């Protein structure tokens, strides 16, 4: 090749060569931060959503310490007081302190949300794995899931609650059953696409047994999308719980839940809107927090987004 002659090495010095002009900075420099703080800075939605959710969790856990009184204590003499220094969120038609009830209500909402998210993810994961890996089971399982999905989850939950006694446990079971089809569909889709991945083929060629392939190559790669889905299910479960309680098909009225408080305040909505207002605000903030966390996780976990630029 002629190239060897083109390059020669005369003794060059800094002064004898012409340097390319320095290019100015177009954008201000970005400081890459490492560690947890850096992660939160890069993912503000996770920071905000996670932060709000942590506050809600703290409220639920430490409700007795947050200047509350017994949320079920009746005091007919102090019925329907407006919010004041004494009763921060006012009192309801039975004279119970709305502030205390809303704070204790966070316990029910978060318990239902988290339980449903975890239970339906685990069960949906199992069903999705089976139908993604066992061909003949697939068409049967998926037709059943399609059938379940054709009923709106809220109606399904109402129907299931109608069959049982109202309790927090039954509410969790009913909503979980209603959410399972969505998770198992998602998992099945993910499993089917993962099975086509070259690294799975390479593992087969390397003599890896099927159970090991599922455990080592398929399962870990389904966790990211399932985690994201679980946050959305958590948010949706909290809303469904509130609706069930609101229409009297959910948590027993004796337990303060945001749905129950709103249901009781419904009759007085025109004159005493604050009874509905405060639990509604708490529910909205919690659902928003969970959804923000989900969006943030989706962006942070999605490798395509991470690869961008």
Partner 1 sequence: MALPGPRSGQPLLEVENLQTHFRTKDGVNRAVDGVSFHVNAGETVAIVGESGCGKSVTSMSILRLIPEPPGKIAGAIRFQGKDLLKLSDREMRQIRGNEISMIFQEPMTSLNPVLTVGRQIGETLRLHQGLSAREAEQKAIEMLTLVGIPEPARRVREYPHQLSGGMRQRVMIAIALACNPKLLIADEPTTALDVTIQAQILELMRDLKHRVGAAIVLITHDLGVVAEVAERVIVMYAGRKVEEAEVGPLFRTPRHPYTQGLLGSMPKLGSSLHGEETRLAEIPGLVPSLKAKIPGCVFATRCPHTTDLCRQVAPALEEKAPGHVAACHYALKEEALAA
Partner 2 sequence: MTRLLEVSDLKKHFPIKAGFFGGTTGYVYAVDGVSFGIDKGETLSLVGESGCGKSTVGKAILRLFDITAGQVVLDGKRIDDMPAGSLRPLRRRVQVVFQDPFSSLNPRMKVKDILAEPIRNFGLAKDSKELDERVAKLMDTVRLPRDAVNRWPHEFSGGQRQRIGIARALAAEPDLIVCDEAVSALDVSVKAQIVNLLQDLQAELGLALLFISHDLAIVEHMTHRVAVMYLGKIVEVAPKRSLFAAPKHPYTQALLSAVPVPEPGASRQRIILKGDVPSPINPPKGCRFHTRCPYAFDRCRVEEPKLAQPSTAGAGHVAACHLHSLPEAENPLAAAVGELVVPA
Residue 221 near which of partner 1, partner 2, none (CB within 5-8 Å, type-dependent): partner 2
Q: Closest distance between partner 1 and the C-beta of residue 3, in Å?
A: 4
- Count CB neighbours of 34 within 10 A: 7
Sign of CA dihedral 64, 69, 74, 80: negative
| Rounded CA separation 77/295 (Å) | 47
| Rounded CA separation 287/175 (Å) | 16
Nearer to partner 2, 28 or 136 (CB): 136
Residue 303 near which of partner 1, partner 2, none (CB within 5-8 Å, type-dependent): partner 2
Q: Closest distance between partner 1 and the C-beta of residue 36, in Å?
A: 15
| Rounded CA separation 125/226 (Å) | 8
If binding is defined by CB under 8 A, does position 1 make contact with partner 1?
yes
| Rounded CA separation 139/145 (Å) | 10
Q: Closest distance between partner 1 and the C-beta of residue 8, in Å?
A: 5
If binding is defined by CB under 8 A, does position 21 make contact with partner 1?
yes
179: CB partners within 8 A, 6+ apart = 116, 120, 124, 153, 233, 236, 237
Interface characters, 42-81, with partner 1 (x: CB under 8 A): x---------------------------------------
Residue 150 near which of partner 1, partner 2, none (CB within 5-8 Å, type-dependent): none
Residue 7 near which of partner 2, partner 1, none (CB within 5-8 Å, type-dependent): partner 1
Q: Closest distance between partner 1 and the C-beta of residue 123, in Å?
A: 36
| Rounded CA separation 92/97 (Å) | 7
Nearer to partner 2, 48 or 204 (CB): 204
| Rounded CA separation 129/122 (Å) | 11
- Contact predicate 262/280, CB 8 Å: yes
Nearer to partner 1, 8 or 65 (CB): 8
Residue 309 near which of partner 1, partner 2, none (CB within 5-8 Å, type-dependent): partner 1
If binding is defined by CB under 8 A, does position 23 make contact with partner 1?
yes
How many angstroms from the chain centroid is the CA of residue 21? Answer: 52
Q: Annotate 95-124 with DSSP letters as a single string.
A: --BHHHHHHHHHHHHHHHHHHHHHHHHHHH
Q: Closest distance between partner 2 and the C-beta of residue 214, in Å?
A: 13
Nearer to partner 2, 93 or 204 (CB): 204
- Contact predicate 280/98, CB 8 Å: no
Nearer to partner 2, 197 or 284 (CB): 197
Which two structure tokens, joined as six digits, stand for 250? 């959910």
- Which of 32, 205, 206, 271 lies at the binding interface for partner 1 (CB under 8 A)? 32
Nearer to partner 1, 17 or 271 (CB): 17
């Amino acid at each position: 090749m002629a190239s060897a002659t083109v390059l020669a090495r005369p003794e060059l010095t800094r002064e004898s060569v012409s340097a390319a002009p320095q290019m100015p900075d177009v954008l201000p420099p970005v400081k890459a931060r490492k560690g947890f703080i850096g992660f939160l800075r890069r993912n503000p939605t996770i920071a905000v959503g996670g932060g709000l959710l942590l506050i809600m969790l703290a409220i639920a856990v430490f409700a007795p310490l947050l200047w509350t009184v017994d949320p079920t204590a009746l005091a007919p003499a102090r019925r329907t007081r407006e919010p004041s220094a004494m009763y921060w969120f006012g009192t309801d038609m039975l004279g119970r302190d709305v502030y205390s009830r809303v704070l204790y209500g966070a316990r029910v909402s978060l318990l239902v949300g988290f339980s449903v998210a975890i239970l339906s993810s685990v069960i949906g994961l199992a069903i999705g794995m089976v139908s993604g890996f066992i061909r003949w089971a697939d068409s049967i399982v998926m037709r059943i899931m399609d059938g379940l999905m054709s009923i709106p989850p809220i109606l399904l939950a109402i129907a299931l609650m109608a069959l049982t006694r109202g309790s927090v446990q039954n509410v969790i079971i009913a909503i979980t059953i209603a959410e399972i089809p969505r998770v198992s569909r998602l998992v099945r889709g993910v499993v089917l696409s993962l099975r086509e991945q070259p690294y799975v083929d390479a593992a087969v060629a390397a003599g890896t047994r099927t159970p090991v392939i599922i455990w080592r190559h398929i399962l870990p790669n389904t966790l990211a999308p399932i985690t994201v889905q679980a946050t959305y299910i958590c948010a949706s479960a909290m809303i469904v719980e509130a609706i069930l309680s609101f229409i009297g098909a959910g948590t027993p009225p004796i337990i303060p839940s945001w749905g129950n408080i709103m249901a009781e305040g419904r009759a007085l909505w025109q004159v005493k809107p604050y009874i509905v207002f405060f639990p509604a605000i708490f529910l909205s903030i919690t659902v928003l927090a969970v959804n923000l966390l989900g969006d943030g996780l989706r962006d942070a976990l999605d490798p395509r987004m991470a690869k961008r630029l």
